[in-house]
A and B are shown apart, each in its own frame.
Chain A
């Protein structure tokens, strides 16, 4: 494995002309995450083309688009989960509160930018140990403090009442929707500033989905949320801002109501109205 390229993919800028042509991001001082001129490659495949985007704090931002349009890849560059893929390479800039994400210690970055995956992935441990995993990573915590953190996270993820009597039981005993909320609680336990959600409801039934969507509303007080979704209704329901990806390009990014009611690009309108995808 080429460690040098892996450790810091955005630094390896093989195409200097990208830099010269990179559009300066519009001034938005309160952006939590700022992405400018991001290009991403898996080996020879160019999967993200010059994406620039600003994610506002304490809001829900949805990323929509057809399968394979690069929205998940984009999400994964925000906490550098993309580093784990061999031969992956990125150019451009991503900043978190003005700090260069690509230069940051990846462990620190991922504690500040949490992630919830498409398929719920509880560890083969007890419910308690799942939620306590993150806090335990960041150092020794006394038992009362740890218990408190676990309870707080489970409450924030709206699953406390369902599991409070079974904290020592295996997380695998929970239903799919509960497992996904447990994974959200696990991500919240380290108090991330940003929470990335990669199609968190795609494997869930409508009731479990509704619970998670409700949850997103309560979370954004303390957290910036970015959600990738296949489901346009979901984006319309939960997000203040929406970005539309197509073939690796960010076609349009605006307030959700603008995207859904008065999209300025024809591609967006075609997708929204169900003409393709």
Chain B
């Protein structure tokens, strides 16, 4: 009897502690980033180029713009492929084919990002004989495709069948019903999934190592190497300079804040209050 109570109390405490651990990891990271990086955050950080080695100060404006350009390519290249693939999977393909594609997409999602980087290196960098923003965006696109595809498919499948039938019964063709009723009904969810997917790959470093490569100056264009925030964190964190370490913390803080904002935006879009405004 006492033993049973003891086990009960012990398990209760254990599960509670594990839950707290999970939550505290995020808050620990956030707190530490703010503590370490907050001091280095200044207006200069957002507007200036990195200072030459040995000088203090400077910023990461080129990396912030570089990350923006990489994500723009991801959104233009990867998101449409994932989205349209998801539409096909949810609405038009047969069940057997869909399950094969779904499984493949899950595998692709699990491919280590460094391997995606190698692929982009072989396909784009080697051919162009040039590290480039485009190659980096290409690598990130490949990572975002399975995420977008799966979330699009899931949200489309969640649209009640009564809506499909309603449109078909009015004489809409299948594709017309999908475009005018089903996709709009799922749009909120699809948008959320896409934002979360893009936010996830925004923090990837490995695929950029030998594609976008990095740059201490402004990248002159889409087909030249560019700096990016995750790469800057990597380079600065392993450097020998105290000042660079602080800047790495600051870059980490900026990156994490961007992701938090994206996540919160996604939640707001998906909130029940938002649904009523549909």
Interface residues of A (CB under 8 A from B): 1, 79, 81, 84, 107-111, 114-115, 117, 119, 121-125, 133-134, 137-138, 170, 172-173, 183, 186-187, 190
Contact = CB atoms under 8 A, between A and B. Distances in A.
Given A1-B94, A133-B180, A173-B276, A121 B170 contact: no
B176 interface: yes
B231 interface: no
10 contacts: A1-B94, A110-B168, A111-B170, A117-B169, A119-B162, A123-B181, A170-B276, A172-B275, A187-B170, A190-B171
B172 interface: yes
A133 B165 contact: no
A43 to B, nearest CB: 14
B171 A117 contact: no
Interface string B108-149: 000000000000000000000000000000000000000000
B6 to A, nearest CB: 52
A117 B278 contact: no
A79 B169 CA distance: 8
Given A110-B168, A134-B171, A121 B163 contact: yes
A137 B166 contact: no
Contact of A125 (B171, B173, B184, B276): B184
Given A170-B278, A172-B276, A172-B278, A137 B169 contact: no
Contacts of B162: 117, 119, 121
Contact of B171 (A107, A119, A172, A173): A107
B26 to A, nearest CB: 34
Contacts of A122: 166
Nearest to A136: B180
A79 B164 CA distance: 15
B220 interface: no
A110 B169 contact: yes
B185 interface: yes
Interface of B: 94, 160, 162-173, 176, 180-181, 184-185, 275-278
Contacts of A1: 94
Contacts, number: 72
Contacts of B184: 123-125
B181 A110 contact: no
Nearest to A171: B278
Contact of B163 (A79, A108, A123): A123
A97 B165 CA distance: 24
Nearest to B188: A124
Given A81-B169, A107-B171, A125-B278, 15 more contacts: A1-B94, A84-B164, A107-B172, A109-B171, A110-B169, A110-B170, A110-B171, A117-B165, A119-B162, A121-B160, A123-B184, A124-B184, A133-B181, A137-B171, A170-B278
Given A133-B180, A172-B276, A173-B276, A123 B166 contact: yes
B52 to A, nearest CB: 56
A123 B173 CA distance: 16
A189 B126 CA distance: 60
Contacts of A115: 165, 169
Contacts of A133: 167, 170, 172, 180-181
Contacts of B181: 123, 133
Contacts of A117: 162, 165-166, 169
Contacts of A183: 166
B185 A124 contact: yes
Given A170-B277, A172-B278, A123 B167 contact: yes
Nearest to B181: A123
B8 to A, nearest CB: 45
Most B C-beta atoms less than 10 A away, residue of A107, A133, A134: A133
A107 B181 CA distance: 16
B171 A138 contact: yes
A217 B168 CA distance: 26
Contact of B170 (A108, A114, A125): A114
A110 B177 CA distance: 13
